[in-house]
Amino acid sequence: MIYFEKVTREYPNGTTALKDINLHIKPKEFVTIVGTSGAGKSTLLKCIYMDDKPTHGKIFVGGVDLTNLKKSDIPYLRRKIGVVFQDYKLLPQKTIYENAAFALEAAGMPTKEIKNRVPKILQLVGLSSKAESFPNELSGGEQQRVGIARAVIGQPKILIADEPTGNLDPKNAWEIIELLLKINQYGTTVVMTTHNREIVNAIKKRVITINQGRVAKDQEIGRYAI
Ligand code: ADP
């Protein structure tokens, strides 16, 4: 589903964020990327959803070689990939319903279909009663659940989550992880980064440890060891 072949990302200032990364993430896997701050985790994720590009090497997502992808093809790729951010990145002037619906509107989906899908996704994330609220009326955990609703409403094959629990207390963090595990059980490949040792050790999923831009460890049932 996701292949990295000798992927290196050097920035013009001389920083090497990723160095010779080889990876294969299979369909329906749940993969956690761990590493110290600055290890290259975000850069790795950004290369998957084409917010960044390798300077050497190749990345394939769903059989598509990202090296040869034109800018105009990026929206097509993004339909296969949902992205969740640490700071939620919700649209503050729009309601929760509108935030969830936005990507579908942008993709030109008929209103009738949107009206059918949004309530289902709000129910999945447990926010049916908040449809008409605005983001600043929600707790951090609730806002992140909207972030997840927005990311999966287009039924992507892959969900990327960059530190999705980074701003949350332990209880809310666990609720978010349980939601990501549920989405994974429905068949979506999940790739997330986290610094949360307790969560990594409890979920018993594949853990890839990045150290100075290299894969230091890749364990099927991994532990947080940094
Ligand atoms: P992590 O997510 O593990 O904290 P990042 O992928 O954000 O790490 O960063 C990896 C390295 O690349 C760091 O040394 C960081 O300073 C550097 N870096 C990230 N983005 C840029 C950029 N746009 N320009 C230059 N260096 C960058």
Q: In ligand 1, which atom is closest to the CA atom of 44?
A: 6
Query: E strands within 156-223?
Result: 158-162, 189-193, 206-211, 214-219
Give the closest residue to 41 by CA, choosing from 154, 192, 216: 192
Question: Which two three-digit tokens encode residue 81?
Answer: 């990939």
Residues 199 and 210: their CA atoms lie apart, in Å, by 18
Q: How confident is the model at residue 73 (pLDDT cuts 50, 70, 90)?
A: confident
Q: Calculate the average pLDDT of the chain.
A: 96
Look-up of token digits 């956690």 = 32
pLDDT at residue 176 greater than cutoff 90 = yes
Residue 11 Cβ contacting ligand 1 at under 6 Å: yes
Q: What are phi and psi of 58, to 5 degrees?
A: -130, 150
Whole-model pTM?
Answer: 0.96
Q: What pLDDT, in 10s, does the model give residues 120-173?
A: 999 999 999 999 999 999 999 999 999 999 999 999 999 999 999 999 999 999
Look-up of token digits 């080889």 = 22
For the chain, the domains span: 2-219
163, 86 contact by CB (below 8 A): yes
Question: Which two three-digit tokens encode residue 141?
Answer: 């955990």
Residues 42 and 162: their CA atoms lie apart, in Å, by 7
pLDDT at 186: 96
Q: Over pLDDT 70: what percentage of the chain?
A: 100
Q: What pLDDT, in 10s, does the model give residues 81-124?
A: 999 999 999 999 999 999 999 989 988 999 999 999 999 999 99
Residues facing 222 on adjacent strands: none
Q: What pLDDT, in 10s, does the model give residues 17-60?
A: 999 999 999 999 999 999 999 999 999 999 999 999 999 999 99
Q: In ligand 1, which atom is closest to the CA atom of 40?
A: 6
Chain centroid, CA 3 distance in Å: 16
Q: How confident is the model at residue 78 (pLDDT cuts 50, 70, 90)?
A: confident
pLDDT at 70: 86
Q: Which of 43, 85, 192, when mutated, tests ligand 1's pocket best, judged by the most ligand atoms within 8 Å of its CB?
A: 43
State which amino acid sits at residue 62.
G
Superfamily of the domain at 2-219: P-loop containing nucleotide triphosphate hydrolases (3.40.50.300)
pLDDT at 58: 98
Q: How confident is the model at residue 77 (pLDDT cuts 50, 70, 90)?
A: confident
Query: Distance from the CA of 101 to the center of ligand 1, in angstroms?
Result: 32
pLDDT at 169: 96
165, 196 contact by CB (below 8 A): yes
Give the torsion through C-alpha atoms of 211, 213, 214, 219, to 10 deg.
60
Residue 55 Cβ contacting ligand 1 at under 6 Å: no
pLDDT at 190: 98
Ligand 1 atom 21: residue of nearest CA: 11
Residue 12 Cβ contacting ligand 1 at under 6 Å: no
Q: In ligand 1, which atom is closest to the CA atom of 36?
A: 3
pLDDT at 96: 98
Residues 113 and 153: their CA atoms lie apart, in Å, by 12
pLDDT at 72: 87
